[in-house]
Each structure stands twice: as C-alpha cells, then as structure tokens.
Structure 1
C-alpha cells in the first residue's frame, strides 16, 4: 500500500528538509509550496508530487482539497507545516486596518486551512487503517508575544485543533502537535539578535530541523499517543 503523506509548506527550511527525509524513507510525499525555489527540483527528482498553492486564496485551497480527495483514496498522514510570521502593526496610522489584516491572515494560514483540510480528508485518513495528523505549532502559543499577538493567538488555536480532531478522528487517526522554539537562524540574522534569542533558553543553541523531523517520525511510529503536544523549546519555560 502506498504511504501518502501530505505536507504543506515544503518550499524551504523545515518543510523542505522534512519532505526530503520522508521521501528518502519511502513515503509518497505530496507537498504544497507558495513560491518556486530552485531546490524544489530535488524533491521532484525524489518523486514528490508538488502543488503550487497560495493558501491565502480560498479558491486555491478548494482546488487542492478537491485534487487530493479525487487522487488519493487513502492518506497515511497530513502534516500542517505551512506558516507565516506577521508582526502586529505599530503606531496609530491605519493601525486598525492592519490589525484586522494581521489577525485574519494568521488565523487563515494556521487555523482555517488545517481545519478545512482535516475535515475534507478525514475519510481518506480513516481508510488508511492507522493515520496521523500533525500540526507544527510554536512554543509562543503557551507564552504569548508582545510583538506578534496575532501570530501567537493563531498558533494557540492550532493547538486547540489538535484536541478537537484527536477526539473526532479516534481511534483510526491520531492527532498531535509539535511546538518548537528556535530551530535555525536565517542567514540574514545579526549577531546581536542571535545572542538575545539564545539567551532565552536553558539550552542556548539551535535545535536544528532534524530535532523536529525525529519528532515527526516518532509520532508516525506511535500507535498510542493522541491529542498531545511535543515541545522542543530548549527549556524556555524555565527561564
């Protein structure tokens, strides 16, 4: 039986590395991306089926769901990795309009899209016999954020999706979250920012993408964990 794993947001960083790893381990990866990057050719060469989708456009989400529903009678796992990071507006000029946009976009990408996909593909998940839904969240969901309130709120809502879908889809489907803090710095991050970020954790280092990938693999191999949240935060909650 084909082991189809749907991963949203495979264009770069964690999503790309996760898709590459699961392809190499024999899974049939179906990925979404918004922007075409040169390295996506590596996933195609490994056999990935990739769909360019702007998850902020409802008609494109509808098309993706219809395509997946028609093409795959069974689905082994859905991993909701697609994400965006939008700061809250500063100052009073057009603040209300920007605030509304920020909240709508964060809730769309982190909550509305996973909600729709999980509901629409629940029969394909159940048909697999044992399947997983994994939401890639964020440590900030439990702490909040003074500068990214909409983002933090949407990630907290994503964690709540885990609880609801774990109840809805049991016992055939297990549903869990993974909440990382610092994974890897971007090339453009300055040294000052890096030191400030590292100082927030008891373990002052980057987790690396492999840490989260190992968490995903553990959940795929588990048959007795659902409605839970794996936290890879370097001990930030104790600082």
Structure 2
C-alpha cells in the first residue's frame, strides 16, 4: 500500500498461507491489521509479534460469528477494509460413505455457513465501522471477498464448496449495490497460487498444466490484486480472476 490509515484492515482466517501473507504485507506498510483465526498456529504467533491483533473465532456457528463481530465493534471505531479469507475445503462425501445422507447435509451446511452466512453477517454487523471510516477518510472503504476460480466450471468432488463460493460472489454484487458509493465491494477468485509442502511432482505438473502460463505464482500476486483494489477508486461489484489464463484451456 502506498499509504496507511489508523483504521485497521480486518482479514478473516489469516493464521496461515494466503491470509497470513496478506496480513504480513499490510503490516510491513505500517497498516494496522486485525485477524481472525480458528486454531492456534505458528503464523498467528508471528503476526502477534509483528503487532497484529489476533482474535480466535469459530465461524462454524452464528453465535461464533456474532461474538466476533461484537468484539470488533468493542475494540474499534472504524475499519479501513474487511477481507473475507476464512475458508474450508471439504469434499463431498461419497454415497457409500454416507448412505443416510447426514454427512452430505452437514458438509453443505458447513460450507454455506463459513462461505456465505459468516460473510453476510459480518458485512451487515461491521458496515457501520466501514461507513464511519469512509466519512472520516474522505474515500470509500472496502469489502473484498475471496472466492475460487473453480466456481467458473464447477467441481465433481467439491460441489458444496463451489456452490457456497458461487453464492458469495452473488452476495458481492448485492452488497456493492447496497453500500455504494461509501463502501466498494469486490471479489478476487484465485486458482491455486502456492502448493502445499507435501504435494508431489505429478500433482504439481497436472495442476500447472491447467494454466497457459504454467507457473506457481505464489501469494504475491494476491497481494498485488488486493493492494490494487484498496487503491482503485472506480471499481465496485467486480470479480478479478487470478487463474493464469485457465479459462483459455477449460
């Protein structure tokens, strides 16, 4: 970021990987950061040492989401941005694993809760803080939803996950219309940006082959995109794909 504010950027689910990287970049720019995390991780300790406020929260229940929102309203008078990164990558149960359908119902409900209901509730609860900051800063504040490029084509193994992320993209449009011009609301839809340590060579090649650019870009490209949105005054209700051109191949 080219400038920072005293109002923090809130990132949900920032204890590891993408969320952790974004928080570190913002802190390096002297931008105050507050994060949510589900369970203790080394990344949370690192962010605390760097000066971030780290709040443990359970977004799997409405009570957990609303308790987190109350804590934010108690601790802060305004927010520069709200970045929805919290996510869960659960696959659909197979019929032979779930003959009664109970596990499938639980999986879908969990995906809906984390990827749609939690952002919906937090946006509504924390909008007054974003609106106040916008008025005092003399510029629009931001809500950014992180979804997934797979929404574009669906997934045979993760249909509940994909459907919930698709719903979040729809919510972005509704919230963008509701709060313009004071709050900009946009979506970033990444494909895989960074492999996990245990991913083998065959998986890496298969995944990289889905993109014409054939590269593992890392989380830096996500930071570039978020930074762009935070400084772009004329964009709301838009979706930016970080997929290396996958739509050209599938």
- TM-score, normalised to structure 1, is 0.97
Q: Which of 86, 108, 111 is matched with 2:113 structurally?
A: 108
Q: Tell me the distance in 2 between the aligned counterparts of 1:187 and 1:49.
A: 28
Please name the residue that 1:222 is paired with.
Answer: 232
Please name the residue that 1:162 is paired with.
Answer: 172
Q: Tell me the distance in 1 between the aligned counterparts of 2:110 and 2:231.
A: 33
Secondary structure at the counterpart of residue 60 of structure 1:
helix
- When structure 1 is superposed on structure 2, of 56-65 and 153-162 the one drifting more is 56-65
Q: Tell me the distance in 2 between the aligned counterparts of 1:150 and 1:118.
A: 22
Q: Tell me the distance in 1 between the aligned counterparts of 2:131 and 2:171.
A: 18
Q: Does 1:99 align with 2:109?
A: no
- When structure 1 is superposed on structure 2, of 35-44 and 185-194 the one drifting more is 35-44
Give the aligned CA root-mean-square deviation in angstroms. 1.1
Q: Which of 202, 211, 215 is matched with 1:192 structurally?
A: 202
Q: Tell me the distance in 2 between the aligned counterparts of 1:61 and 1:116.
A: 7
Secondary structure at the counterpart of residue 198 of structure 2:
coil
Once the 2 structures are TM-superposed, how far is the Cα of residue 93 of structure 1 from its aligned partner? 4.1
Q: Does 1:72 align with 2:82?
A: no
Q: Which of 173, 179, 201 is matched with 2:183 structurally?
A: 173
Once the 2 structures are TM-superposed, how far is the Cα of residue 57 of structure 1 from its aligned partner? 2.9
Structure 1 segments, 4+ long, off by >3 Å, are none
Q: Does 1:209 align with 2:212?
A: no
Q: Does 1:120 align with 2:130?
A: no
Please name the residue that 2:10 is paired with.
Answer: 6
- CA deviation vs aligned residue, 1:134-178 (integer Å, no higher than 9, x gap): 001100111111111001111111111110000011110000000
Secondary structure at the counterpart of residue 120 of structure 1:
helix
- In the alignment, structure 2 segments of 5+ residues that lack a partner are 135-139
Q: Tell me the distance in 1 between the aligned counterparts of 2:103 and 2:43.
A: 33
Q: Does 1:235 align with 2:242?
A: no
Secondary structure at the counterpart of residue 202 of structure 2:
helix
Secondary structure at the counterpart of residue 11 of structure 2:
strand
Q: Which of 169, 183, 200 is matched with 2:193 structurally?
A: 183
Please name the residue that 2:163 is paired with.
Answer: 153
Q: Tell me the distance in 1 between the aligned counterparts of 2:228 and 2:103.
A: 40
- TM-score, normalised to structure 2, is 0.93
Once the 2 structures are TM-superposed, how far is the Cα of residue 27 of structure 1 from its aligned partner? 1.2
Count residues with an aligned counterpart: 239
Once the 2 structures are TM-superposed, how far is the Cα of residue 70 of structure 1 from its aligned partner? 2.1
Once the 2 structures are TM-superposed, how far is the Cα of residue 5 of structure 1 from its aligned partner? 0.6
